[in-house]
Every structure is written in C-alpha cells, then in structure tokens.
Amino acid sequence: MLSRKNKLLLLKFLSLFSVVRGYNILIIVLAQYLASIYILAPHLPLRRVVFDLNLFCIVLASAFVIAGGYIINNFYDAEKDLINKPTKSMLDRLVSQRFKLSTYFVLNLLAVFVASYVSFKAVLFFSSYVFGIWFYSHKLKKVPFIGNFVSATLAIAPFFAVFVYYKNFDTVIFLHAIFLFLLILAREMIKDLENIAGDMAQNYKTIPILYGARFSKICISILIILTLLPALLLINYFDIGYMYLYFLAAVVLLILFLVILWKSRTKMHYVGLHNILKMIIVVGVFSILLINIDLVLNRIL
C-alpha cells in the first residue's frame, strides 16, 4: 500500500501529466518519427533514421516546447477551464501555479539547449516557437479567426521542423500537411462551439460568440470540404500504398461529420464532433505504416 505522502506525489505527477497532456506529446513524437521513416526519408535505412541524433534532438526539443505550451495555456485558461472542464481542472490544480511556471521556463530552456546541438538555425526556430506559443496564449487566443489559424499553425510546427531537416519538397508532403492543418483548424473551431460557456464568462471573442453558431458551422463546413480535396488527390494521384484505405475512411467520416454538425445543438454534440476529428488525426498517425507494408515487414524482420 502506498503511504499518504506517496499517494500525494503520485497525484501531483498525474496532475502535471494532465497539464502537459503527456498522451498528446507521445502521439506527436510517434508521428514525427513515422513521418520521417515512411514519408520524409523512405530512402534511408531504418537504423539511420531512428538513431539519428539530430532528429532525436529535434523531436525532444519539440516535446519540451509543446509541454511548455500546454502549461502556459493552462495558466492563462485556468478560470475558463473551471467552467468548461471542471473535473480536469480539479486534477490540474493539485500542482501550484508557481510550480507550473517554473516547469514552463525549465522546459523551454531545455528545448533551446537541446536544439543547440543541431544548429543555430534550430535554436532560432525553437526560440521563435516558444515565443509564438506564449504570444498566442497571452494575446491571440482571444482574437477570432486569427487565434484559430495561429493555433493550428503552431500545432503542425513540429512537423515543419522535421520537414526542413530532411529538405524533402515533394508535392505529396505538402498534401499531407494541408490535410492535417485543415483538420486541426476545424477541430479548433469545434472547440470554440464546445467551450462557449467558459469563453463567454471570460470575455473571449470567439467566432460563435461574435457571429453565432450557424456562421461558425458554415466556416467549419468549408474547412471540412477543403480537407476532402487533399484526401481525394492523395487517393487518386499519388502512390501512398494501403494508406489510401485510411483516406477513404476519413472521407466517409468527414461527410458523416458534416451531417452531424448541422444537427448538433448541445455541448455533448460538439464534444462528439471534436472526438471524431481527434480520432481521424490519431488513426492517421498509425496509418502512415500502411504507405509501404513490405517496407514495414522487411524492417521488422
């Protein structure tokens, strides 16, 4: 049996893990590696990619910055989250705001230090990334349209870092990136519908608050329709192996998403829609393996 002190330490660890959304960071790390192996550098041997110290430093620096970003976002949204996410907020509050801020600065310093192993350009990139996340959380988050766009841009920045490292400028890479960016942007706008109560209480000027839920749904619908375009292009005109099955399933789910969107009225409906987009994104990470099944089997064997 754990002592009371150990139980408290465990709860605080779980609280910090909740604040930095460790599960999301693990998915992003996996996505960066899978994208490097099967999309950005499929011509390189597996060992050379997996044991590339520069790539490891880029991925590690990304993880530190993202964790720090979740902390500063949690810091600014503490009051709003009490309304929108009361259960998670109670867990998050087991760790003091002072400790969170200290951890935030340590993580960002570690990110810049790790990036310095790669190059000075990497230091500039991750320093800019840190500033961008802080500026978004402090100022831009409350600005309609711009806040959503910047949030989606910051979300794909870790993949941009890996993309630049491998200098792979194939069209297929851009189509994957556009598909992911539009999905994340649509998800950000769904979150605005989901969090109306807390946003109104904290005087956030989001799209549904300023222009209404109907206008917000029109914007989301346009984004989803635009998302279908890169998916269909990847299916019909590019060699993506069995990953075409993922994109076919994504197209079906996105059309279903549109139908449900226009019937949605309550927070629970919007949470469900949010989860559909999140599922498409997460499944997409593992579906990268389908690009070349033979390559997967050969590398395993």
The pLDDT tens digits of the residues spanning 17-57 come to 777 788 899 999 999 999 999 888 888 888 899 999 999 99
Residue 88: predicted pLDDT? 66
Say if residue 301's pLDDT is above 50. no
- Token couple for 260: 């449900």
Kindly report the CATH class assigned to 169-301: mainly alpha
CA angle in degrees (0–180, nearest 5) for 258-188-177: 85
Predicted confidence band of residue 144 (pLDDT cuts 50, 70, 90): confident
In sequence order, what are the residues at sequence separation of 6 or more whose Cβ sits closer than 8 angstroms to the Cβ of residue 132?
150, 154, 157
Intervals of CATH 1.20.120 along the chain: 169-301
Let me know: does 150 contact 136? Beta carbons within 8 Å: yes
Residue 298: predicted pLDDT? 56
Say if residue 273's pLDDT is above 70. yes
Residue 142: predicted pLDDT? 81
Residue 297: predicted pLDDT? 52
Say if residue 122's pLDDT is above 60. yes
Please give the average per-residue pLDDT across 101-121, as a whole number. Answer: 94
pLDDT 10s digits, 198-249: 777 777 788 999 999 999 999 999 999 999 999 999 999 998 989 999 999 9
The CATH code that applies to domain 12-167 is: 1.10.357.140
Let me know: does 102 contact 127? Beta carbons within 8 Å: no
Q: Please state, for a pLDDT cut of 70, what percent of the chain lies above it.
A: 88
Predicted confidence band of residue 170 (pLDDT cuts 50, 70, 90): confident
